[in-house]
């Protein structure tokens, strides 16, 4: 065989994958509001494909949990009530805590560097006052955290959870808070990991999620 062929394998994305991704983004950023019915024939026409591939994409989204299927009725964008949001952040705490533990156990220093960089990015976004950028940097931090753990399964789980998180943020735009605090919370997580302090990590993640939850649910209708 040729010694280290410098080409990367071509991989054409399947139609269903493309559709899945597009729909997912639409749901994430609110183009497809929660509760919206996703009619197969309509969407198939929009994407310019048959109903077959589209149905496959739907199956994936259903299995991901961001689309709800009512048999013989239709598919709907899942709505997140208060309990669901609570559960979402519980699950996030679980995954991100585990990721932090793995980093503490295995890291050679690169993970901590990446986390501090992510914090710095948040910091500069906070200073310039760009809230959209700050929000992106926020999510990016958590992505870095879980990616750096090296666990594919944690990454997969987290990806799904982040889609739902983005759904929440999109639905409730305008829940501002002091950007400095926001940065500080993340820095606390990063430094807990850097210090290898497990208990501090647990508390940092938990309180971070609790803060976010509190912020989200206070704006929701209290009914």
74 binding partner (options its own copies, DNA, none; Cβ < 5 to 8 Å by kind): DNA
Q: Which one, 42 or 52, has the nearer CB to its own copies? A: 52
Long-range contacts of 29-37 (CB under 8 A, 24+ apart): 29/166, 29/170, 30/167, 30/170, 30/171, 32/77, 33/77, 33/171, 34/77, 34/78, 34/79, 34/80, 34/167, 34/171, 35/76, 35/77, 35/79, 36/76, 36/77, 37/74, 37/75, 37/76
Least distance from DNA to the Cβ atom of residue 12, Å: 7
152 binding partner (options its own copies, DNA, none; Cβ < 5 to 8 Å by kind): its own copies
Q: For residue 1, what are the CA distances in angstroms to 4, 11, 31, 126, 208?
A: 9, 21, 49, 52, 52
Residues 20-39 that bind DNA (CB under 7 A): 37-39
Q: Which one, 112 or 201, has the nearer CB to its own copies? A: 201
Q: Check residue 11 for interaction with its own copies (CB under 8 A).
A: yes
Q: For residue 110, what are the CA distances in angstroms to 40, 102, 121, 139, 198?
A: 46, 13, 17, 19, 18
Residues 23-42 that bind its own copies (CB under 8 A): none
Site string for DNA, 114-153 (x = CB under 7 A): ----------------------------------------
- Report how far residue 114's alpha carbon sits from residue 30's, in angstroms, rounded to the nearest whole number: 30
Residue pair 220/96 in contact by the 8 Å Cβ criterion:
no
49 binding partner (options its own copies, DNA, none; Cβ < 5 to 8 Å by kind): DNA
Q: Which one, 194 or 205, has the nearer CB to its own copies? A: 205
Residues interacting with DNA, by CB under 7 A?
Answer: 12, 14-16, 37-42, 49-53, 55, 69, 71-75
Residues that bind its own copies (CB under 8 A): 11-12, 14, 16, 52, 55-56, 59-60, 62-65, 69, 71, 87-88, 90-91, 93-95, 97-99, 101-102, 151-154, 156-157, 161, 198-199, 202
């Amino acid at each position: 065989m040729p010694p280290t062929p410098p080409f990367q394998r071509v991989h054409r994305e399947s139609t269903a994958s493309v559709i899945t991704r597009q729909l997912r983004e639409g749901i994430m950023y609110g183009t497809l509001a929660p509760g919206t019915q996703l009619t197969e024939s309509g969407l198939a026409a929009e994407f310019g494909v048959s109903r077959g591939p589209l149905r496959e994409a739907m199956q994936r989204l259903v299995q991901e949990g961001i689309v709800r299927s009512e048999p013989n009725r239709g598919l709907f964008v899942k709505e997140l009530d208060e309990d669901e949001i609570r559960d979402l952040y519980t699950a996030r705490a679980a995954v991100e805590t585990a990721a932090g533990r793995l980093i503490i156990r295995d890291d050679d220093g690169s993970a901590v560097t990446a986390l501090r960089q992510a914090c710095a990015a948040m910091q500069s976004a906070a200073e310039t006052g760009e809230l959209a950028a700050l929000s992106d940097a926020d999510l990016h931090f958590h992505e870095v955290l879980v990616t750096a753990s090296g666990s594919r399964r944690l990454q997969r789980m987290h990806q799904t959870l982040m889609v739902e998180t983005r759904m929440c943020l999109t639905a409730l735009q305008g829940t501002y808070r002091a950007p400095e605090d926001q940065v500080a919370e993340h820095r606390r997580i990063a430094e807990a990991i850097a210090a290898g302090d497990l208990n501090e990590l647990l508390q940092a993640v938990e309180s971070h999620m609790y803060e976010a939850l509190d912020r989200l649910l206070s704006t929701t209708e209290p009914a």
